[in-house]
Amino acid sequence: MSNYIRPIPGTAFLTTPSEIIPVPTPSSSPDDPLNWSKRRKIVSMMCMSLFTLSSGVCTASIYSILVPISLQTNVSLSTLNQGTGYMFLFLGLGCLFWQPIGQQYGKRLVYIVSLLLTVASQIWAAHAHNTSAHWIGSKIFQGFVQAPIESLCEVTISDVFFEHERGRWIGLYAFMLMFSNYIAPVIAGPIADGQGWQWVLYWGAVFCGVVSIILFFLCEETNWTRGADFKEEVVMTPFGGMGVEAGLAAQEEEKKSSAVENNSISNGSVVSISKTYWQRLSLLDEPRPMMLWTMFVRPFKLLTYPAIVYSGFLYGTGLTFFNILNATASLIFSAEPYNFSATNVGLTYLSPAVVSGVLGWGAGHLSDFIKVWLARRNRGVSESEHRLWILLVYLILVPPSLMIWGFGASRGFNAGLLIMAMGLIGGSGTVCATASVTYAIDSYRDITSDSLVTLIIIRNLVGFSVSYGITDWVANEGLEKCFGEATGLCVACILPMFVVIWFGKGWRVRTKDRYWDMVDESRRSGMAY
């Protein structure tokens, strides 16, 4: 590192007048995930999507049948929602355990083990009758074993794709996460009516078991060690260091060097043989120096990085209104004047499922488009804060929808209007997820795994507090006042995006040396990705 200028993390040359520059620079090995063929990358994303879908279905399958579960188990509705809160809490805290395991021993191992333990959690919850402690215990266990869904998938995307490509794939991940949470209640209603609520959980267990088998044969390890001699991207920094012209010249030199290197590979002077299919099926990644404690502690150190803390609160904002929606949907549609059955309550979730698909695809592609467009307007220089502009979509759609949901339900508005608002509130969560995760990754790419743990812990602490108290909030204040306050809270949480866009780069400048010290430590120990 001493031979290179330490660039500002999150600031990089992304474009020239004629092309997009790949960031980060890949190695020469065919097994480097950045060098994988398009087909190999798509299979990897298919596996990630299946993992997200199956795990997400299990976290959300009871949302439309809370009232029937409460009536048949003698567990209060408040306790059921508190159980969901504890699940979200441990979905965050569990990352402190699973993320280091995935980086140390392999993400493939963690994905498969997580699915198998989720099978056990579903069977446990199906037998949690007549006792609040039993139910909450099952949800705590479920949250812990499913924690990889929260932060490991995003790291896999960062392993496989370049900076200018990540937005669309993070958008896919956000869509699968939200879609799973909305399609599960749709399916759960008819199952509960026809087979009983326990079978909702049993079928979730079957789904996870099948996906674990698929992942065993198709999911490849994406961990890739970039050694201590790995070159950092040379970037322009108005705070000192290399200027634009010098930076572009350095990029051109790097491209020439890469071309020579690639030519050497094709002529056989560089020997690098790709792993066989059976070697790729190994559950354990290559041996590395033990770094579990270091990786456990790092997320707490990152609480002093403003960009990461902001990303966590931003993601938590999306989760907050998602949880409010889930906690009140069954309550509203099961009561007068709607009197929906469990099946019909479940069908209302088709609205956010469809909207999350549209906005998940749109937010990801829009994020990448804005990233490249603003870089070209900025003489080829990209800033991580460019990812935040898509939050304008959230600011336009969600506050009015919260007002319609609360006031409409309180005054008995037409169910179709409420279902439309439900779709916009729930589906817009993909926008918050895409903006927050891409901002965190682009800001501190080389410690993505650690920063996402910090982000998810903050997000889920916010989500836990809302899930824990939402039932009493609605009961004590009523739907109108509750959702009036929620609307104001939503606007107050999104508006700081303009402060971050203005001051975010200064935050990254002040954390630059601490960040690169962490990266140096990882590279020396063989744990840099």
Domain residues of the chain, as ranges?
35-227+295-524
Contact, 90 vs 140, CB < 8 A? yes
Q: Which residue stretches of 340-427 are H helix? A: 342-347, 350-377, 391-410, 415-427
464 membership: H or E segment, kind and range: helix 448-494
Write out the chain's pLDDT in tens, 529 residues: 444 578 899 998 877 666 788 888 888 888 899 999 999 999 999 999 999 999 999 998 988 788 888 888 888 888 888 888 899 889 989 999 999 999 899 999 999 999 999 999 999 999 877 678 889 999 999 999 999 998 899 999 999 999 888 889 998 998 999 899 889 988 998 999 889 999 999 999 999 999 999 999 999 999 987 654 444 444 444 433 444 444 445 445 544 444 444 443 333 333 456 788 888 888 887 777 778 888 899 999 999 999 999 999 999 888 888 778 877 887 899 888 999 887 888 889 899 989 998 998 899 999 999 999 999 999 889 999 999 999 999 999 999 999 999 999 989 899 999 999 999 998 998 999 999 999 999 999 889 889 999 998 898 888 777 766 777 788 788 888 889 999 999 999 999 999 999 999 999 999 999 999 998 888 777 665 5
Contact, 467 vs 319, CB < 8 A? no
Dist CA 63 CA 426 (whole Å): 13
Q: What is the pLDDT of residues 126-170, one digit of tens each?
A: 987 767 888 999 999 999 999 999 889 999 999 999 988 888 999
Homologous superfamily, domain 35-227+295-524: MFS general substrate transporter like domains (1.20.1250.20)
Task: Tell me the backbone φ, ψ of residue 451, rounded to 5 degrees.
Answer: -65, -35
Contact, 470 vs 327, CB < 8 A? yes
Beta bridge partners of 381: 13
Q: Say what the pTM is.
A: 0.82
